[in-house]
Chains A and B, each alone.
Chain A
Amino acid sequence: MEVIEILILVLSFLTLLAAGVPIAYSIGLSSLLTLLVSMDSLTAFTTIAQRMGTGLDSFALLAIPFFILAGQLMNQGGIAQRLINFAKALIGWLPGGLAHVNIIANMMFGAISGSAVAAASAIGGVMHERMVKEGYDEEVSAAVNISSATTGLIIPPSNVLIVYSLASGGASIGALFVAGYIPGFLVGLTLMGVAAWFAIKRKYPTDKLSKLSDTFKSFVDALPSLLLLIIVIGGIIAGIFTATEASAVAVLYAMVLAFVYKEIRWKDMPDILLSSVKTTSIVMILVATSMAMSWVMAFENIPQNVSELLLSISDSKIVVLMIINLLLLFVGVFMDMTPAVLIFTPIFLPVVTKLGLDPVHFGIIMVLNLCIGLCTPPVGSVLFVGSAVSKVSISKVIRPLLPMFIAMIIALILVTYIPALSLWLPAVFGMM
């Protein structure tokens, strides 16, 4: 076992990360340092450059900038408000009505925008004030918003699942997308369970059942936004277009919609494009250096060693999956999702496929798992945005978040040990 190389990789990476070096560059530099042990420096430099270049050369990755752009275009107008109205008409009558509205609106908004951070700020921005006015405790309202904002990363279309498809060496993006529905809804449901528990315990108000005509009107208002999901996912399921083409169609649709609603003018376009470019580049450089690191790890036989180590502990699927889930929860607390998926998929996927797990199933487990880390300190981006938008301090929001974490972990356990939750739906559509 190449102990020295592994030590250099892990220690230099953790040191750089802890010092505050941007994650992408920490990944690149620690990979470079590791390679310097086993080859001459010029070859090491060139190898990293080459792995970065080839790592970005993928048609599947193209969907990411387009989904980001479509999300940006959709975010411009009153979409958050329309989705909230629709969610309110649907489930406002449950105990803790507004909390459920917050969760459902986050699920819809997250799926459309593809960004948990955008969901937390757009939905939380509208809902928080309203919830506090109706008597919800502010930290509960913030916790509901933060935990549910991550569901949009599992409910398709999802950029993280595209990244996973790349890291897994070709798991079908279409199958991954469709596989995400039931687990995504399951997380939403478990969170709604916790919200209802809070509502009953703390006597939060409940809305009247809304009139059918109002429900219908709010549905008609929300329909153009929701139609984006139907076009994208429907088109992929029907085999009309690839995920990448679907993402470009989503851009076209979002643009037409934005111009029809007069929410965007032509002169706004450069700004919108530039802001999508920024988000895209931050992801792309992470992809580039993570692909380099994953190559270095393969070069040092790390995946093989980890696999042997894990299987020597136990050859029971239940135990190994539990260990992997615990490791990933730990990773998710400290690491952003994209590099975590790119670096740990090549390490863990061979182990779980050896135990008979489907790569699509493992992708859903992994993303669901890492979503939890987005809501925890010290680096949970959704936690930060969610607490900023509701002006509740992080230390205050943690307490009501704890039962939410338990709910998410229960959903994770169910999704881990019941493969049908992920694989049944893609099988129905003949995608696996």
Chain B
Amino acid sequence: MKKSIDSILEKVLIFIMGVMVVNVLWQVFSRYLLQSPSSWTEELTRFLLIWLGLLGAAYATGQKLHLAIDLLPSRLEGSKARNLDINIQVVVALFGLLAMAIGGSRLVYLTMTLEQISSAMALPMWIVYLSIPISGILIVFYSMENILRKPEQG
């Protein structure tokens, strides 16, 4: 399960990053060579970055890449270390659940009912903010998975 979600996320993230690069290059190109700056590329790239940053953060949670102060964890051993790690993962999941999944869903709902749209592309803003609850759910999934996975040796 984790493997397939990882691999889907990786493909999505690589795709978003690639599109972002092409977009901004197109923006420079259109401004200088076509003399007609494109108005939507900037906005699109900005929105893609929000998706990239949050989905990537969820992915990084699964890979345990996030920066942390490991002064305490590195001093504990055996079951104590394991208990601390479980607590850390629970705390992370709590943030993913409350602020991102629940708070984010409500944010999506509010922007939907207010019919907020973006200025250049007239894109409904809830599509942008949808990245928050989705990443939140993924963060909950990954932190639970981190708990259930057998502790690594060594």
List residues of chain A with CB under 8 Å of any chain B CB: 16-25, 28-29, 32, 41-42, 44-50, 52-53, 56-59, 61-62, 65-66, 69, 240-241, 244-245, 247-249, 251-252, 270, 273-274, 276-278, 280-282, 284-288, 334, 336, 378-379, 381
The smallest C-beta distance from B36 to any residue of chain A, in angstroms, reads 16
Partner of A22, one of B55, B66, B71: B66
Q: Whole-angstrom distance from the CB of B133 to the nearest CB of chain A?
A: 8
A28: chain B residues at CB < 8 Å are: 95, 99
Are B69 and A20 in contact, CB atoms less than 8 angstroms apart?
yes
What is B's interface to A at a CB cutoff of 8 Å?
10, 13-14, 16-18, 20-21, 24-25, 27-28, 32, 42, 45-47, 49-50, 52-57, 59-61, 63, 65-73, 84, 87-88, 91-92, 94-95, 98-100, 102-104, 106-107, 110, 128-129, 131-133
Give 13 pairs: A residue, B residue, CB < 8 Å, sorted on A: A22-B66, A22-B92, A24-B57, A25-B66, A25-B91, A28-B95, A45-B103, A50-B103, A57-B46, A66-B24, A249-B28, A285-B53, A288-B53
Indicate if the CB atoms of B88 and A21 lie closer than 8 Å. yes
Inter-chain contacts of B28 with A (CB < 8 A): 241, 245, 248-249
In the complex, how many angstroms separate the beta carbon of B57 from the nearest chain A beta carbon? Answer: 4
> Which residues does chain A contribute within 8 Å of B42, judged by CB atoms?
59
Q: Which of B50, B61, B67, B92 gathers the greatest number of chain A CB atoms within 10 Å? A: B67
How many A-B pairs have beta carbons closer than 8 Å: the answer is 195
Q: Is the CB of B21 within 8 A of A52?
A: no
Known: A18-B71, A22-B67, A281-B60. A288 touches B54 (CB 8 A): yes
Asked if B60 and A45 sit within 8 Å, CB to CB, the answer is no
Question: In the docked arrangement, what's the CA distance between A331 and B55, Å?
Answer: 29
Contact of A248 among B25, B61, B95, B104 (CB under 8 A): B25
Q: Closest A-chain residue to B99, C-beta based? A: A48
Residues of B within 8 A of A276 (CB): 17
Q: Are A285 and B103 CB-contacts (below 8 A) given A32-B98, A61-B49?
A: no
A281 touches B71 (CB 8 A): no
The smallest beta-carbon distance between A84 and chain B, in angstroms, is: 29
* Min CB gap A376→B, angstroms: 13
Separation of A286 and B66 alpha carbons in the complex (Å): 9
Docked pose: A278 CA to B57 CA in angstroms: 8
Interchain CB contact (< 8 A) of B45 among A45, A62, A278, A379: A62
**Which residue from B45, B56, B129 sits with its C-beta under 8 Å from A280?**
B56
Q: Chain A interface mostly helix, strand, loop or mixed?
A: helix
SS class, residues of chain B in contact with chain A: helix
Q: Which residue on B lies nearest to A50, using beta carbons? A: B107
Given contacts A48-B103, A273-B17, are A59 and B46 in contact (CB under 8 A)?
Answer: yes
B24 and A244 contact, CB distance less than 8 A: yes
Partner of B67, one of A16, A280, A336: A336
- By Cβ-Cβ distance, the 3 closest A-B pairs, closest first, are A281-B56, A284-B53, A45-B103
Tell me the complex Cα distance, A240–B47, Å: 24
Q: Is the CB of A62 within 8 A of B46?
A: yes
Given A23-B68, A249-B28, A252-B25, do A53 and B129 touch, yes or no (CB 8 Å)?
A: yes
Q: How far is the CB of A287 from chain B (nearest CB, A)?
A: 7
Q: Is B17's CB under 8 angstroms from A46's CB? A: no
Chain B contacts for A25, CB-based, 8 A: 66, 91-92, 95
Decide: A62 near B49, CB < 8 A? Known: A22-B92, A24-B66, A48-B103: yes
- In the docked arrangement, what's the CA distance between A203 and B57, Å? 49
Bound Cα distance from A286 to B132, whole angstroms: 14
Q: Is the CB–CB distance between B63 and A278 below 8 Å?
A: yes
Considering the complex, give the chain B residue whose CB is closest to the CB of A35: B99
Contact A53 B57 (CB under 8 A): no
Given the complex, which residues of B lie within 8 Å of A50, measured CB to CB? 103, 107, 129
Given the known interface contacts A25-B91, A49-B132, A65-B49, the answer about A18 and B56 at a Cβ–Cβ threshold of 8 Å is: no
**Contact residues in A for B88 (Cβ distance below 8 Å):** 19-22
Q: Which residues of A contact B69 (CB under 8 A)?
A: 17-18, 20, 23, 334, 378-379
Which residues of chain A are within 8 angstroms of B20 by Cβ–Cβ distance?
62, 65-66
Q: In the complex, are the beta carbons of B68 and A21 less than 8 A apart? A: yes
Nearest CB in chain B to that of A249: its residue: B28
Q: A329 to B104, alpha carbons, bound, how many Å?
A: 35
What B residues does A280 contact at CB under 8 A? 17, 52-53, 56
Question: Closest Cβ of chain A: how far from B101's Cβ, in Å?
Answer: 9
Nearest opposing residue in chain B for A245, CB measure? B28
Q: Considering only CB atoms, which chain A residue lies closest to B22 in the complex?
A: A248
* Cross-chain contact B68 with A20 (CB below 8 angstroms): yes
Determine the chain B residues whose CB is within 8 A of the CB of A20 once the complex forms. 68-73, 84, 88
**Set of chain A residues within 8 Å of B133, measured between Cβ atoms:** 49
* Residues on the B chain within 8 Å of A58, using CB: 46
Pair B66/A42 contact, Cβ less than 8 Å? no
Q: Tell me the nearest residue of chain B to A284, going by C-beta.
A: B53
Besides A49-B103, A277-B14, 14 other A-B contacts (C-beta < 8 A): A19-B88, A22-B68, A29-B94, A42-B102, A42-B103, A48-B103, A49-B129, A53-B132, A245-B27, A251-B21, A273-B14, A281-B56, A281-B57, A284-B53
